[in-house]
């Protein structure tokens, strides 16, 4: 699954969702994880709503966005796009976060994470 991280250096999750100038996008699975791209984001309008909408749209391929801080309206916008927001509240290592996620994926992930892992794949219930 694709996961986006707010990071100024690619080393630490250290940015607020609304202030990040770019997102580090990784493909993360139980056995493998690798960096895919740096997704640059522009200003996209003058008001906060336009900025949040543009970021959510740019991240639409991602199942999770890991960020240091995110406001309620931005988190709701991500959820509406079927992107799960994760908040750290302090700076944490991006690599260690990926490794922890992989450990959870190898075991019995919680329902929200199983759902995120299946983002973009149809289920029998979706077709009815």
How many domains in the chain?
A: 1
The answer as to whether 71 is a domain residue is: yes
Question: Domain range spanning residue 69?
Answer: 2-117
Closest CA to 81 of 101, 104, 62, 102: 62
Tens-place pLDDT, residues 56-90: 889 999 999 999 999 999 999 999 999 999 999 89
Domain of 39, CATH number, reads 3.30.420.130
In degrees rounded to 5, what are phi and psi of residue 116?
-65, -40
Interaxial angle between packed helices 48-58 and 72-80, expressed in degrees from 0 to 180 and rounded to the nearest 10: 40
Tens-place pLDDT, residues 18-61: 888 899 999 999 999 999 999 988 765 566 677 888 888 899 99
């Amino acid at each position: 699954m694709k996961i986006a991280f707010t990071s100024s250096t690619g080393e630490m999750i250290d940015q607020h969702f609304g202030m990040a100038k770019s997102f580090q996008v990784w493909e993360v699975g139980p056995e493998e994880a690798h960096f895919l791209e740096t997704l640059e984001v522009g200003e996209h309008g003058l008001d906060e709503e336009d900025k949040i909408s543009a970021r959510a749209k740019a991240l639409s391929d991602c199942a999770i966005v890991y960020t240091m801080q995110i406001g309620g309206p931005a988190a709701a916008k991500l959820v509406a796009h079927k992107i799960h927001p994760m908040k750290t509240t302090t700076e944490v290592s991006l690599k260690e976060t990926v490794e922890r996620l992989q450990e959870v994926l190898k075991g019995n992930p919680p329902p929200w994470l199983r759902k995120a892992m299946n983002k973009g794949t149809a289920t029998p219930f979706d077709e009815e």
